[in-house]
Amino acid sequence: MPESAERGTKVGVINCGSSSIKYEVFDRKKGIKLVSGLVERIGGAEGLMKQSVLQADGTFSEQVYTKRLANHRQAFVFIAKIHREKRIIQEDAELFCIGHRVVHGGELFREPAVIDDEVMDAIRGLIPLAPLHNPPNLLGIEAARMRFPGIPQVAVFDTAFHQTLPPAAYRYAVPAELYDEHQIRRYGFHGTSHFHVAREAALHLGRPLEELNMITLHLGNGASVAAIREGVCVDTSMGLTPLEGLIMGTRCGDLDPAIPFHLIRQLSLSVDRVEEILNKESGLKGICGFNDMREVQQRAEHGDERARLAFDMFCYRVKKYIGAYTAVLGRLDAVVFTGGIGENSEGVRSAVCTDLRQLGITLDERRNSSVTGKSAEIQEAGAPVRVLVVRTNEELEIALQAEAILEKSVRRGDAPCPCLAQT
């Protein structure tokens, strides 16, 4: 490992889009966020950089910059320049490593991977499984490796936590050769978030994660559920793609697989148009015209019947998964709400948990309406199932996992990439 990584005190986290870079920097010793930022309009006439920087008094100051950025490499150069000027990261050697969010790791990656050319080729080979996400993730990795050639880079995969699913949970009832030759199966997503909040819930409860059975609910514009038995994920609602499962902001979630065929035949729609409808025009937006749950709830409270239907459908689908996953787990110790909706909507939490007393799930509405802190319990006193609201922090989790896998590989004396599964 480079000497710079040995003495680095900071960890960078990168999440790249096709024309954007979202980034955060953490102090690895104190476990605190030093800066978070977003560069947009890469490749456009004028790039826009916004960042929040931690001040000595614990508050964050907002900074905005504009500059034409032809590509992601120029964007990283610009970020590094601003960070030097603002004394955030004055030398590359301050970085211990850089963690990259990568959406799809397929069956190859069960844990984070220290990035080398072999890992790059493997991520590139998974593009057919994530054509919208893995290419920009690769762009960011390539640009970061060029700008920071001496700093170890680590890929952290959204799918990795779900690689413990048993075959009965991850296989689809389609011809076997579709799995054997084309890897058509359930992968699941939001794995970094599900693992983070499960661990935080265990810490809050004062019990080892390995002793707990829980259902984690990541509810936001994208939404998913995970069934976790003794710290291991055994089922999850998203599938081959993030389209399956819960109703989301603009995604339909579960539906009859014949519906796309019907739309193509009856309405003469193209495959691309059907995909666009199901991914970008469905979900809450398709039902009532709005994909932000806050607006949906406000409109429902003011008598908008479509908004009320959207709210009810969203909560009903979550409730169905709680019932199904309780059956899968056999014993349920905790239900955990997280994500933008899960953390902030007391109305959704209340509706989801209504009439689940037979499963041991009951809410104390006073506690539900006054959630504070990183973790809070909202069940009735004496309820057999603990119901928690836990703040997710995927960026911090990526930083922690990147640091851990790098230190682990050094301790083992492994080659740079110990995490690529043997096939």
The per-residue pLDDT for range 34-80, each reduced to its tens digit, is: 999 999 999 999 999 999 999 999 999 999 999 999 999 999 999 99
**Model confidence at 419: pLDDT above 80:** no
pLDDT score recorded for residue 359: 98
Choose among 382, 371, 332: nearest CA to 349.
371
* pLDDT value for 408: 82
pLDDT digits (tens, 9 = 90+) for 221-271: 999 999 999 999 999 999 999 999 999 999 999 999 999 999 999 999 999
Short-list 421, 414, 401, 422, CA closest to 99: 401
Residue 352: is its pLDDT beyond 60? Answer: yes
Q: What is the dihedral sign for C-alpha 66, 67, 69, 72?
A: negative
Q: Which two tokens stand for residue 41?
A: 């309009």
**Alpha carbon distance 320, 305 (integer Å):** 22
pLDDT of res. 233: 98
How many Å apart are CA 348 and CA 326, to the nearest integer? 19
Q: What is the pLDDT of residues 234-243, one digit of tens each?
A: 999 999 999 9
Write the single-letter amino acid at 379. Q
* pLDDT at residue number 409: 73
SS3 of residue 155 by DSSP: strand
- Provide the pLDDT for residue 316: 98
- Give the tens place of pLDDT for each residue, 284-306: 999 999 999 999 999 999 999 99
The answer to whether residue 421 scores a pLDDT higher than 90 is no
pLDDT digits (tens, 9 = 90+) for 142-152: 999 999 999 99
Question: Residues with catalytic annotation?
Answer: 158
Q: Any idea what the Cα angle at residue 196 is, between residues 369 and 390, rounded to 5°? A: 5
- Token pair recorded at residue 412: 């083992």
- Return the pLDDT at 197: 98
Answer with the residue of higher pLDDT: 138 or 410. 138
Kindly report the pTM of this predicted structure: 0.92
Contacts of 250 by beta carbon, 8 Å cutoff, 6+ apart: 221, 279, 280, 281, 282, 283, 284, 285, 286, 291
Per-residue model confidence (pLDDT) at position 407: 86
pLDDT at residue 7, rounded to an integer: 60
Q: Which residues contact 265 (CB under 8 A, 6 or more apart)?
A: none
Write the CA distances from 140 to 150, 155, 235, 242, integer angstroms. 16, 11, 30, 21
CB atoms closer than 10 angstroms to residue 415: 11
Q: In whole angstroms, what is the distance from residue 104 CA to residue 123 CA?
A: 8
> Rounded distance, CA 25 to CA 168, Å?
40
Residue 348 CA to residue 314 CA, distance in Å, equals 9
Task: Please report which confidence band the pLDDT of residue 4 belongs to, taking 50, 70 and 90 as the band edges.
Answer: very low
* pLDDT tier at 81, thresholds 50, 70, 90: very high
User: Quick one: DSSP state of residue 124?
Assistant: H
> Could you give the 3-state DSSP secondary structure of residue 327?
helix
Q: What angle do CA 41, 46, 52 make, to 5 degrees?
A: 65
- Measure the CA–CA gap between 41 and 19, rounded to whole angstroms: 6
412 — pLDDT class (breaks 50, 70, 90): low
Domains and CATH numbers, the chain: 3-157+395-412 (3.30.420.40), 207-392 (3.30.420.40)
Q: How far apart are CA 353 and CA 224, in angstroms?
A: 16
pLDDT at 85 over 90: yes
pLDDT score for 185: 97
